[in-house]
Amino acid sequence: DAGVIQSPRHEVTEMGQEVTLRCKPISGHNSLFWYRQTMMRGLELLIYFNNNVPIDDSGMPEDRFSAKMPNASFSTLKIQPSEPRDSAVYFCASSLTLVGNQPQHFGDGTRLSIL
Amino acid sequence: QKEVEQDPGPLSVPEGAIVSLNCTYSNSAFQYFMWYRQYSRKGPELLMYTYSSGNKEDGRFTAQVDKSSKYISLFIRDSQPSDSATYLCAMMAGNDMRFGAGTRLTVKP
């Protein structure tokens, strides 16, 4: 079974550049989550979707961050313009549904470094 | 006070030891409890998923939930070097999911 697939695995870019992170959830999963992980703050939920619709984006740190889910098998998280403090590991996770307290399954993350 | 408290460690034990990892929480609405294992440079991997108070066993792993004390534990029996990882507790109430900070475990051969 293919798990959650994220790309790229690593991204190094200069401050001010646009960064786009990609995620393919597990087939059949209707809910998708974007997280950021740092040593200082641990795992933080940024935004989540249900049936391709954004449900809660209160964790998105600033307007520089945006996320889309154009279809059930693809989502993007975009940072524009990027800043050094955005450096972190970004994870995508998916679950079967939002209701029924279904557990989340994570991808292996994108390690982002902003110079 | 954080909603979920987890001792970050690090915790180092010899191979074969019994490991006890713990989390406390403050929100009594949490009903579902999970443990994730995260190897270096990998995503969190679901290890155990439990509902309400009690014990759940899966091989060498036992998850324990005490809702009256707002306390959950993960026990690892006969620990192996391959168990070396960061263990994150997580809990859910409806759409609200919270993670602990993670405990870094090293099992030495």
Q: Say whether pLDDT at A88 is over 80.
A: yes
In percent, the amount of chain A with pLDDT more than 90 equals: 82
Across A95-109, B14-28, B86-100, which has the greatest mean pLDDT? Answer: B14-28
- How distant is the Cα of A9 from the closest Cα of chain B, in angstroms? 10
Q: What local confidence, expressed as pLDDT, does residue B93 receive?
A: 83
Beta bridge partners of A20: A78
pLDDT at B66 > cutoff 90? yes
A54: exposed, middle or buried (Cβ count in 10 Å: 0-12, 13-18, 19+): middle
Q: How far is A31 from chain B (nearest CA, A)?
A: 11
Residue type for B27, please? N
Strands B103-108 and B11-14: parallel
Residue A12: which pLDDT band, with cuts at 50, 70 and 90? very high
Chain A hits for B95, CB-CB cut-off 8 Å, are 48, 55-56, 98
Give residue B21's pLDDT: 97
